[in-house]
Amino acid sequence: MTSLNEITKWHPRSLQKWLREIDENDLVLVMPYLPKDVHHLILENLSSRIRKNISESLKETTPVSHRIIDRAKERILEIANDMIDMGELSEPGDDELEDLPRKTLLPASLPSDNTHQLIETLTILGKFANERGLLSLEEALLKINDPFLKEAIQLIVDDTDSDVVEEILRNRVRAIINHKEMLYNLIIEGILGIQDGNSSWTLELRLKSHLPPDMGESKKTM
């Protein structure tokens, strides 16, 4: 790869993967000197957060020497060529364009109320991301009601490392399970206390004894 103009041949997946490795400052230096279609393509394949940062920085740019700009271009191209050599990116034009057509459209909503809906939603999201890249899933966030799934999608859109994504989500699952288990145990203890004829004062103490110390004095929620 010898020119940034070649990225117009890339599939969004490769383009977004490459852009994640580039220093934002280098992008700000070279983007004012890129053709409009290349400039637009780069912005389109950045996360909304980074796109906002880049756009704001571009408004505040001051003239710099051509030597500095050329060096920034060299660093950006070097990253692309290194990733191609290591097999992390496809050589632009090899077979990238063959699966470029974007046929999958997102429905008005992406429900996940039961297993069948969830499987269908995840399958649609997978097809959509394969055609357009992971950043395209930002479009799905407004169509997802489940907070857990929404957080999961946001994590990968923000380019969070897969190990960190798994750790965060599994911690969420453990917290949900522990909370549910505590609620069910409270129901069991409450029912047994009622059956035993405990006074309301004794029953309340009996139930609070199962709460963590920091929750024992919290306001009643039931």
Mean pLDDT of 98-127: 84
Asked if residues 138 and 47 have their Cβ atoms less than 8 Å apart, the reply is yes
The model's confidence at residue 8, banded by pLDDT at 50, 70 and 90, is confident
Mean pLDDT of 14-41: 91
Share the mean pLDDT of the chain.
86
pLDDT at 91: 57
- Residue 127 clears pLDDT 60, i.e. is over it: yes
Residue 78, H or E segment: helix 66-85
The model's confidence at residue 30, banded by pLDDT at 50, 70 and 90, is very high
Q: Count other C-beta atoms under 10 Å from residue 71's C-beta.
A: 14
pLDDT at 86: 86
The model's confidence at residue 17, banded by pLDDT at 50, 70 and 90, is confident
pLDDT in tens, 132-147: 888 889 889 999 999 9
Going from the C-alpha of 63 to that of each of 8, 24, 54, 73, 188, the distances in angstroms are 27, 17, 16, 16, 71
pLDDT in tens, 205-222: 989 988 887 765 554 444
42-46, 89-93, 165-169 — most confident range = 165-169
